[in-house]
Amino acid sequence: MADFDKLFEQFKTAAEAVSAQVYRVKDLNEAGSLLSTLVEEDGAKKLAAASSPMVDKCLNTANLNIEVKTDDLRKNAEDADFGLSELDMAVAEIGSLQQDCTDLNKRLVSMLPHTHVAIVRTDSLVANLLEAMAKIDEIKDNIPGYMAFITGPSRTADIERVLTIGVHGPVKLKVIFVDNPGGDSNE
């Protein structure tokens, strides 16, 4: 059995080294409360969310006094301040997240808004990329058509080799680990 406390600390250190902000909460009620705080602190006016069991529960418990869009994200994600999506796995050693992005909505909310908030189960943490690939190999007959690994906010140095944040994606990445996302259920 993995030591999730140790893996979480390793992930947090690696992700924060590339400008991500990492949080850990007990359940989706706390995730909703944290999301409310993050949105308020940022002064956001609009949030676009890719529906999933965890995202929906988080939104239901959040106290958001802003516009929240969960449909027609092709139209609504571009001008959203925050994008919210559920991620499938986290790789502690490199501070990266993995997501099945076959659903266009997941790609839109993780790339177009200024800030991407990623919700991920703490028990999805793996130690390294080798372990992540082994987990993906376990589902080799059902590998997603589009899979993404996300490491920090968007960064590029292709313009005269000057590092620029947010040119090809979000300026900020906030990761919320949820210890108990659904009680005894497998949501």
Domains within the chain, CATH numbers bracketed:
4-180 (3.40.50.10420)
At 85-103, the pLDDT tens digits run: 999 999 999 999 999 888 8
Q: What is the pTM of this model?
A: 0.88
- pLDDT tens digit string along 47-59? 999 999 999 999 9
Mean pLDDT of 37-41: 97
Is the pLDDT at 154 greater than 90? The verdict is: no
Residue 20 to residue 151: CA distance in whole angstroms: 8
The conformation of residue 78, written as its DSSP 8-state character, comes to T
Tens of pLDDT along 157-187?
566 665 454 445 568 999 999 999 875 444 4
Q: What stretches of 77-171 adopt beta strand conformation (E)?
A: 82-86, 89-91, 96-100, 115-121, 125-126, 147-150, 155-156, 164-165
